[in-house]
Every structure is written in C-alpha cells, then in structure tokens.
Amino acid sequence: MTSDQTFIKRTTKNVVAGTVAGIAVCLVGHPFDTLKVRLQTQPINNPIYAGVVDCFYKTLKWEGIGGLYRGVGEYYSYITVYPTDKKLCYCGGLCT
C-alpha cells in the first residue's frame, strides 16, 4: 500500500468513526437538552412542568418521542466536513 492509500484509508476510518460517535452522542444527549431548555423557558409565575420527570412525561404525552428530538435537524445543518490540501476539516457551527 502506498502512503496516499494508507492516508485515505486512515482518514476514511476516522471520519466514519467520528460520524458514528457524533450521532450516538446526539441520540443520547439531545433529549436531555430539550428538557433543559423547556424547563428554562417556561413562565416563572405559571410553570407548565413541576420538574424534569414531569417535563419528560408531558412531552411524551403531548408530542410523542419526536418531541424529545425537536430541533435536532437544525443542529445537524451546521455540521460540515470538507476536504482541503490533504486534510479533512470539520466545521460545527460558525465556519470561516
């Protein structure tokens, strides 16, 4: 194997592993973030939720499992992988 083939194989392996890891983190972590934001943005004088567990059950009841993943599409729309001179650059959020 030439050094270019080794580089491409190693880079492909790293990109795939990083992508799978990122998806796993999002699938596990995003529902907690959704619950946190809902609790933080509820009215103080007339709260909708009594706590995290209540927020979780009400979200499932009112919106189903998709309610826990609301906004996940916007998160993924910010992520880009682009090739540059023998490197792959990852950009999450604001790219310049």
Q: What is the pLDDT of residues 55-90, one digit of tens each?
A: 999 999 999 999 999 988 777 766 655 555 555 555
pLDDT higher than threshold 60 for residue 92: no
> Encoding tokens for residue 56?
């979780």
Give me the torsion for CA of 5, 89, 23, 38, rounded to 10°: 180
| Spatial distance between the Cα atoms of 38 and 96, rounded to a whole number of angstroms | 31
| Spatial distance between the Cα atoms of 1 and 4, rounded to a whole number of angstroms | 8
| Spatial distance between the Cα atoms of 45 and 35, rounded to a whole number of angstroms | 19
Q: What is the pLDDT of residues 32-47, one digit of tens each?
A: 999 999 999 999 999 9
- Is the whole-model pTM more than 0.75? no
